[in-house]
Amino acid sequence: MHEPLINSDKKQRIIQSIRWLVAMSWFNRILGFFSIIILARILSPEDFGIMAIVVLALQLTETLTNIGSEQYFIQKESATNADLNCAWTSNLIIKLLTSLIFAIAAPYIATIYDHQHLIPAFLSIAFLPVISALSNGKIYQYKKELNYKKFAAIAALSKLLGSIISIVLAFILQSYWALIFGAILNSVFYSGLSYIFIQQRTSFELTNWQEQFQFSKWIILKSLIGHIRAKFDSWFAINIQGISGLGGYNLSKDLVLLPSRELLSPISEIFFTSIAQTKNESGEQQLQIRKSIAIIYIIGFPIAFGWGLIAEPFVQVILSDEWLPFISTISALGFLVVTFSMGNFISQIMTATGHVKQLFYYDVFTLIFALIMLTYFAESIDSLNEMAFIRVLIGVGIVLIGTICLSLLDIISIFHFLQSAIFPLLSSIVMSKFVLSLSLSFQDPKINLVLTIVAAASTYTIFLLIGCKFKALGRAESTFINGLINDFIKLVKNKI
């Protein structure tokens, strides 16, 4: 007899984890959405541009010291408590050094940007890495065990408190300091709540640190290259339209990527843990990967096309007049929902299957590809809209390169990787064409926005249900999605 592809207990833990993370993600998504909207109505594109400069500099510093402690512990087989303590301690020491280095370098960084008045902002944000690293290391173990209940509560509550304070401060200060204080307090609340919700503690220990370093050295190099690859468009945007343009571009990008960061990334994180705990090249592992890919496509494509449909009424209704010049940018960047989510998941797959060295080579190659593309098109980029289009094009290329790499590593075939994309893509195109054919042009943009969302969601849902019924996503993928839909319906009925 054949053994079942998925252990029943693990399947239940995956489903429970997905439920908790989806609940947290939707909460964070709604909260993040309203936070950005409220802040955008209070603050100017220049304020968001200043915050973007500060965060970009900090992220570059953090990237240089990202040793992947959490990934190391989760992917390690037969991990001990000593391994957990070592992972947490190593991360804390490195992040402390990061904060000190960034604080010392703050005046020089401000001089490079020719904004010496930002030195206090750089010094304030410098403490974020060590504050985050002080959170309870037992969270690593909870994630490894696919127990996301407490993590979801901690993340949601800390984000709620941080967002509320940011909004209140924005009304009071009317400046970018509201964003900086909000980011700092969010990390403070997260670290503090982690010790309130989780009674167990990690301790200082560096046993077997050499083993982690063998894993981490590739993570550090990968993170640096990944950061440059992910942020090159932001660095470039400031040269097109100054700080205000950078603020508008970054806000547009943050808006369209909210679903990816708050919904798709947490879900793929669950599958990362599950993939890491299954035998490499096994049927179970490949099935987990295919399911994850199907979910990303199913959710990502309609959102990507949806931004193109609602960009104009969305800005008119939700944002202020200052953001009207960025309508086309939001529309164009919408497709990053798919490329960003899938690109991140490709990296997670390689990490989970132990191909960290190959992941570094993949990141190097795709960075070179991105820079060649940017250099080729640089002279023709005269606006943020053109920058957005080139960024999406580069993202598509990176995903295709990643697909080939996974196939060469015998992790998943190109056919299986792309198979489940066809139906969601075609359904999203039909959805978009149908909504455009309605020619919704009421004088009140609120009506246009609501009707567009309702028409698009209804059309896509109908096509998705039909596709699952006829196994259009692939037999295994369609069965999995049908199971999730049935479980959700049962859950709703039980609650009623």
SS in 3 state form for the chain? Answer: CCCCCCCHHHHHHHHHHHHHHHHHHHHHHHHHHHHHHHHHHHCCHHHHHHHHHHHHHHHHHHHHCCCCHHHHHHHCCCCCHHHHHHHHHHHHHHHHHHHHHHHHHHHHHHHHCCCHHHHHHHHHHCCHHHHHHCCCCHHHHHHHCCCCHHHHHHHHHHHHHHHHHHHHHHHHHCCCHHHHHHHHHHHHHHHHHHHHHCCCCCCCCCCCHHHHHHHHHHHHHHHHHHHHHHHHHHHHHHHHHHHHHHHHHHHHHHHHHHHHHHHHHHHHHHHHHHHHCCCCCCHHHHHHHHHHHHHHHHHHHHHHHHHHHHHHHHHHHHCCHHHHHHHHHHHHHCCHHHHHHHHHHHHHHHHHCCCHHHHHHHHHHHHHHHHHHHHHHHHHCCCHHHHHHHHHHHHHHHHHHHHHHHHHCCCCCHHHHHHHHHHHHHHHHHHHHHHHHCCCCCCCHHHHHHHHHHHHHHHHHHHHHHHHHCCCCCHHHHHHHHHHHHHHHHHHHHHC
Residue 380 and residue 386 in contact, taking contact as beta carbons nearer than 8 Å: yes
Q: How many CA atoms lie within 13 A of 35 on its CB side?
A: 24
- Cα separation, 418 vs 34, in Å, equals 34
Q: What local confidence, expressed as pLDDT, does residue 333 receive?
A: 92
- Tracing tokens 């050295």 back to the chain, one arrives at 217
Tokens in use for 474? Answer: 């692939």
Residue 254 and residue 334 in contact, taking contact as beta carbons nearer than 8 Å: no
Q: What local confidence, expressed as pLDDT, does residue 456 receive?
A: 95
Tokens in use for 370? Answer: 């991105």
- Cα separation, 190 vs 162, in Å, equals 9
Tokens in use for 404? Answer: 């080939």
Dihedral of CA atoms 306, 311, 314, 315 in degrees, nearest 10, equals 160
Q: What local confidence, expressed as pLDDT, does residue 443 receive?
A: 79
Task: With both helix axes pointing from N to C terminus, report the angle between 283-318 and 445-469 in degrees, rounded to the nearest 10.
Answer: 160
Q: What local confidence, expressed as pLDDT, does residue 230 receive?
A: 72
Q: What local confidence, expressed as pLDDT, does residue 1 receive?
A: 37
Encode pLDDT of 130-163 as tens digits: 888 888 888 888 877 777 777 778 888 888 888 8
- Cα separation, 5 vs 288, in Å, equals 9
Task: Report the candidate in 85, 72, 65 with the shortest Cα–Cα distance to residue 128.
Answer: 65
Whole-model pTM?
0.70
Q: Which residues of the chain have pLDDT under 70?
A: 1-30, 32, 58-67, 113, 210, 212-222, 260, 262-263, 266, 269-270, 273, 277, 279-282, 492-493, 495-496
Encode pLDDT of 380-417 as tens digits: 888 888 899 999 999 999 999 999 999 999 889 999 89
